[in-house]
Structure 1
């Protein structure tokens, strides 16, 4: 794959990732509620989800995925249910700064699953790859090196952009000092996350 083709794909992919959507909303809500560090597993799940969809397209499994929608529906609803649970936890959370909140055993793995299932429950990711990849490279003739290059490129771009969103959201929260303001933020982000869960379940 030529360097020019990589740049074209990187540019299109970056714009798609940067555009506000359920993933960005969920990352912002999570970071405002618990801080950047505790949002990283969720971002990792989103990255893994994009790579899985990419693998389906490259492996010619897009049609298979469409024919077995029941599996993806189950994943979609499971992810939406967990996001709704997180929304309820945020709504009822005490007005404490992220570093003062206790960690829950297994939280990281659950957040990875939430990010992964949210992404897998969104077939638009697959549609994006189906539409864009043929414009920059022949999917049928992709070498192992090309696939590796694209995977590294996507993981880097997606993680970097989501991390930037998380940092900005975390800093916005830290400007807020009073418990009353923090409670408002918790409920606002909880409501936002509940909206994301509802949007995912309704797709």
Structure 2
């Protein structure tokens, strides 16, 4: 089991890491502005699922595997960087329409938003660095049991990311009327695209 100090340290570290601007939060804000609260929470759900995947990998030995299968992880690194660049291209050249506040999102858009949240997280160098480099410094992963992972780490991760992500979504929706024009949306999405390219470059530079 984790003691209170480890719980608080992990929560604080994860909260700070999540709040630092990166591809995930950039996409979250952009989608929340263009599609509203529901679409934003679908992206957030995908982001959380991606984080839980890396948390599980870290707890169950992905860091150890990385030491023995370096070539595979180099391939994953390049693939993730390429995917971030692809997303950046989509965000940069997106065809924007004036926002109709109150218009319900279609089911296809909600599913697409959730999938994009997962894939952005899996290709996010900040997330990878947190779970495979910083997490072992905060928590002794060798002492983590399946019960501790399932009953403590997973709910704690969901709670922290949901809290941070909700603040970004609500802030984005609150200023949505200021970004309803095509020009404002273009600037927002292109700003997100620049962040994704920067993240891809950082991943390849390491």
TM-score class, shorter-chain normalisation, is: 0.7 to 0.9
Whole-Å separation in 2 of the counterparts to 1:106 and 1:86: 18
TM-score for both structures, normalised by structure 2: 0.81
Q: Partner residue of 1:115?
A: 117
Secondary structure class of the residue paired with 1:47: helix
Whole-Å separation in 1 of the counterparts to 2:99 and 2:132: 44
Is 1:124 aligned with 2:123? no
Q: CA deviation at 1:72?
A: 5.0
1:66-81 to structure 2, matched below 5 A, reads 66-69=70-73, 70-78=75-83, 80-81=85-86
Structure 1 residue runs of 4+, over 6 Å off? Answer: none
Q: Partner residue of 1:152?
A: 155
Bigger CA drift: 20-29 or 40-49? 20-29
Distance verdict in 2 for CA 1:30–1:53, change over 3 Å: same
Q: Partner residue of 1:85?
A: 90
TM-score for both structures, normalised by structure 1: 0.82
Whole-Å separation in 1 of the counterparts to 2:25 and 2:162: 11
Distance verdict in 2 for CA 1:80–1:105, change over 3 Å: farther
Whole-Å separation in 1 of the counterparts to 2:105 and 2:91: 14
Distance verdict in 2 for CA 1:43–1:84, change over 3 Å: farther
Whole-Å separation in 2 of the counterparts to 1:110 and 1:83: 16
Q: Partner residue of 2:185?
A: 186
Q: What's the CA shift string for 1:35-55, capped at 9, x where partnerless?
A: 121111211111111111111
Q: CA deviation at 1:75?
A: 4.8
Contact kept in structure 2, 1:54 and 1:126, CA below 8 Å: no
Whole-Å separation in 2 of the counterparts to 1:45 and 1:74: 19
Contact kept in structure 1, 2:22 and 2:126, CA below 8 Å: no
Q: Partner residue of 2:61?
A: 60
Whole-Å separation in 2 of the counterparts to 1:134 and 1:186: 39
Work out which of the residue numbers 163, 169, 174 in structure 1 matches 2:172: 169
Q: Partner residue of 1:24?
A: 25
Q: 5+ residue gaps in structure 1?
A: none
Q: CA deviation at 1:104?
A: 4.4
Secondary structure class of the residue paired with 1:95: coil
Q: 5+ residue gaps in structure 2?
A: none
Q: What's the CA shift string for 1:23-71, capped at 9, x where partnerless?
A: 2222112212221211112111111111111111111112435542324
Q: CA deviation at 1:153?
A: 0.6
Count of residues paired in the alignment = 196
